[in-house]
């Protein structure tokens, strides 16, 4: 331990290392010289973390890992949309009839399935769960593919009746063995369409047509349909949050 000199007696005594300033006062160094560097490094680290952590969370929430895009959802029954829509020509509204009338597109009741399968594939092992559901009067627990937060209001019927096709939000379902989400359904994604709806409009008789393409520039067709169908660009908060 360093020894200090008593200012009256001149005797060197044990004590802390001291520096004599110009005015004669004694200054005790309680911290090492690196303390300042450590302090400012800690402040910089905390400040960076305070910015990076929220920014990282916001960025992550928009990635496919968080939104579930391109991730096939396992269902209790292996229902192949390719076979029903593409091969057999079953229209979207045959199973999801609520899309034009109610906020929810709806999941078909077992009776809808049995409307066909009392005539075809009546002994197929793949349809055993459908038959059990029918005879036991027990609904099939399908898994939801596209999910919105509870604080978001979405009405299928207003979109469908204003010329927004199924493929705009759900993708080419006719090419999916297992259905998966193709859109992030984030607020930015929705607002991009709400600001320029003409880019996504189609004739009402082509709403469920997965292969439809316009026979004129989409800009021209979209603007005309927007005027004919009375499509408004709703971007205020109450449009989706009620």
**Cα(230)–Cα(162) distance, rounded to whole angstroms?**
8
Q: Same domain for 103 and 114?
A: no
DSSP-derived letter for residue 144 is P
Whether 180 is covered by a domain: the verdict is yes
Tell me, yes or no, whether 76 and 186 share the same domain. Answer: yes
Give pTM, 2 decimals.
0.72
- Which strand (E) or helix (H) includes residue 20? strand 18-20
β-pairing, 12-14 with 18-20? unpaired
CA atoms within 13 A on the CB side of 43: 6
Is 193 within the bounds of a domain?
Answer: yes
Structure tokens at 81: 């949309």
pLDDT above 90 coverage of the chain, percent: 60
Give residue 134's domain range: 108-141
| Confidence (pLDDT) at 191 | 94
pLDDT at 10 over 70: no
Tell me which DSSP letter residue 119 carries. T
Residues 113 and 100 grouped into a single domain: no
Provide the total of helices (H) and of strands (E) in the chain, helices listed first: 10, 4
What is the average pLDDT score of the chain?
86
How many structural domains does the chain have? Answer: 3
- My answer on whether 87 and 203 are in the same domain is yes
Quote the CA–CA distance of 195 and 203 in Å, as a whole number. 19
Residue 27 lies in a domain: no
């Amino acid at each position: 331990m360093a020894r200090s000199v008593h200012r009256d007696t001149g005797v060197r005594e044990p004590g802390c290392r001291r520096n004599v300033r110009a005015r004669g006062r004694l200054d005790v160094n309680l911290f090492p010289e690196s303390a300042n560097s450590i302090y400012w490094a800690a402040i910089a680290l905390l400040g960076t973390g305070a910015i990076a952590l929220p920014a990282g969370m916001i960025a992550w929430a928009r990635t496919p890992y968080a939104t579930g895009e391109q991730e096939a959802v396992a269902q209790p029954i292996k229902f192949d949309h390719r076979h029903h829509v593409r091969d057999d020509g079953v229209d979207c509204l045959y199973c999801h009839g609520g899309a034009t009338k109610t906020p929810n597109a709806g999941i078909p009741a077992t009776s809808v399935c049995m409307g066909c399968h009392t005539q075809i594939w009546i002994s197929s092992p793949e349809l055993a769960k459908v038959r059990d559901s029918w005879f036991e009067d027990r609904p099939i627990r399908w898994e939801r593919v596209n999910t919105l937060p509870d604080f978001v209001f979405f009405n299928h019927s207003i979109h469908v009746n204003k010329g927004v096709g199924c493929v705009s939000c759900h993708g080419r379902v006719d090419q999916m063995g297992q259905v998966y989400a193709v859109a992030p359904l984030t607020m930015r994604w929705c607002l991009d369409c709400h600001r320029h709806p003409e880019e996504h409009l189609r004739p009402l008789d082509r709403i469920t047509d997965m292969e439809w393409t316009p026979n004129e520039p989409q800009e021209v067709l979209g603007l005309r349909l927007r005027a004919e169908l009375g499509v408004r660009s709703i971007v205020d908060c109450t449009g989706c949050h009620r």
